[in-house]
Structure 1
Amino acid sequence: MSETSQLDAVLYREDEGIAWITLNRPERLNAFAGAMRDDLRAAVERAAESAEVRVVVITGAGRGFCTGADVEVMSDLVARGDAAAFEGYVEAGMRAVRALVACRKPVIAAVNGVAAGAGASLACACDVRVASEKASIGFTFTRIGVHPDWGASWFLPRLVGTGRAAELVLSARMADAREAERIGLFQRVHAADAFEGEVRSFALELAAKPPLALAAAKHSLSISPDADLETMMETEREAQMRLFRSADVREGIAAFNEKRKAAFRGE
């Protein structure tokens, strides 16, 4: 079953258990403007609530993933001294990040091109980043005198370490796909002509796995950087006992014994 709709400059489509969310301002490299931030949040929440969706993929239309805030919009805000509108945009980005973190389903950032500023932060807020060899990523906030947002100051040090995070943020430089893969920002990098197919294959691979187990693992991994060993072992125990009673475990064991592919239902 496939479903397509448009929320302003954000496209939403469900297909084979995958929610495809596409930032759709290719003429501006998918820079955020207007209600785009809240439209993205709404799309993520829609995917999270859909009984048909197992995996969420966020990508960009055209040759860019997302270049963050539209500088033309920022220029207008600065010229008018409209701090209230600027704060509204920052808070809308915060709401989008909260939706991504709250989503119990795996979220893949399919970084098809440049990801800069809030676009880089958005990619970091996703669970896994899969990139085209033509992609690049940079936390370019200081180029125009602003501070990282969309949770970048929390996510980035946990992904690459504090020293490397400082170098990336303070220099505001762009890293190409291979460097980003080497330092742990991108988990997979694919040839540009194979990128879409590789993203779909990976998303389908995750969609076939047990939803309850993925959700539990996602939660545990999200809290582990700030937890001690005893807290994490107790979290693991609780998750194991909860999952042990699920129909998915019974199906997984039966499929293993019968040497067939499991059909997990999230029950």
Structure 2
Amino acid sequence: MAQKYNDIIFEVKEKIGIIKLNRPKSLNAFGGTLVMDIIAALRELNEHPDTVFTVLTGEGRFFSSGADIKGVAGSNEEQYKNDAEKKVAFMSRFSYAIELLRSIIDHKKVVILALNGPGVGGGAAWFQGVADIVLAAEGAWLQVPFNALGLVPENGSAINLAQSMGVHRANDFLMFGRKCTVEELEQWGLVNRIFPKENFQESVVKFLEEQLEVNDGKSMMETKRLQNAPRRAERMMAVFDAMEALAERFVEGAPAQRFKDKVALLSSKSKDRSKL
């Protein structure tokens, strides 16, 4: 199948649609056209006549490292007339999140998050709470440094993760930036199953094919619809509330210096590695 996307690998294997984040050199950070590619692919699979499962996974050793730190670091350099204009500008900048999360929340197919490796920031929080099933490779881990960067849990993740793992565990994960292994998250109820790291994605496809041999695809999709329909309004409001709170943090200037410090640290580590 000819590729129509820049930053994802899109594939359909009979009743399984696969969206693979494909920016491995940047650890699948949300730069380039990655987010728009995901939105477009979700829309395409939502209307696909044959698929039952939509798999979201990553190419390379990471699932996703989240936001492009270098790109965000310079986002406060523009000048605004007042705080109201500044807030509206940032809310507009984050508006893609509404369609990304809506595309997952309203997706008719069963959404399988297949964590092939670590997830950081948005890569650890955006999809985990709204996916229908979470599968993971041994040794993968998740970490969200939102509060360390002066941010807030993005895209409704505060509520969605609390519903999956419990409020106290979600607070530990989100507030304190606790690094959690997928083995630990399986015990907490966020991860459904863990597969060996070697040939992980092939194992995911085989597992889903086995489910299709036993279970009726339309019935699984209807089960998803019945379970998620009453939660839709709450989930969408959580996305908007998080975007609004995030914009206020940028209005206050809280993340600016923290992002600059993070970029300086990353640059220093890069220089140190180049000397070796």
**Same structural fold, with TM-score higher than 0.5 when normalized by the shorter chain:** yes
Per the alignment, residue 154 of structure 1 pairs with 159
Q: What are the Cα deviations for residues 180-221 of structure 1, in whole angstroms up to 9, with x where unaligned?
A: 111111111111114222201122234443232112210222
1:102-251 → structure 2 map (5 Å cutoff): 102-120=106-124, 121-208=126-213, 209-223=215-229
Alpha-carbon spacing, 1:202–1:4, altered in 2? closer, same or farther (3 Å)? farther
Q: What is the DSSP-based 3-state SS (H/G/I as helix, E as strand, rest coil) of the residue aligned with 1:189? A: strand
How far off its partner does 1:223 sit? 4.4
Structure 1 contact 13–20 (Cα < 8 Å) conserved: yes
Of all paired residues, the percent bearing the same amino acid is 27
Quote the offset at 1:85 in angstroms: 6.1
CA distance in 1 between counterparts of 2:93 and 2:25 reads: 21
Gaps of 5+ in 1: 227-267
**TM-score, normalised relative to structure 2:** 0.75
Bigger proportion of residues as strand = 1
Shift of 1:52: 2.6
Judging changes above 3 Å, is the alpha-carbon distance between structure 1 residues 32 and 177 closer, same or farther for their aligned structure 2 residues? same
Match of 1:15 among 13, 16, 25: 13
The range that moved more, 78-87 or 138-147, is 78-87
Cα displacement string for residues 13-36 of structure 1 (whole angstroms, at most 9, x for unaligned residues)? 111221110111111110101432
Question: Residues 82-120 of structure 1, C-alpha deviation per residue, up to 9 Å, x if partnerless?
Answer: 856643442212211111111111111110111121112
Aligned position for 1:53: 51
Equivalent position amino acid for 1:144 in 2: L
CA–CA distance in structure 1, aligned partners of residues 139 and 158 of structure 2: 25
Whether 1:39 and 2:37 are equivalent positions in the alignment is yes
Query: Which amino acid is 2:9 matched to?
Result: L
Give per-residue Cα distances to partners, 1:214-258, cap 9 Å, x unaligned.
Answer: 1221022224679xxxxxxxxxxxxxxxxxxxxxxxxxxxxxxxx
Return the alpha-carbon distance in structure 1 between the equivalents of residues 90 and 133 of structure 2.
29
What is the number of residues matched between the two proteins? Answer: 225
- Counterpart for residue 77 of structure 2: 79
Aligned partner of 1:251 in structure 2 is none
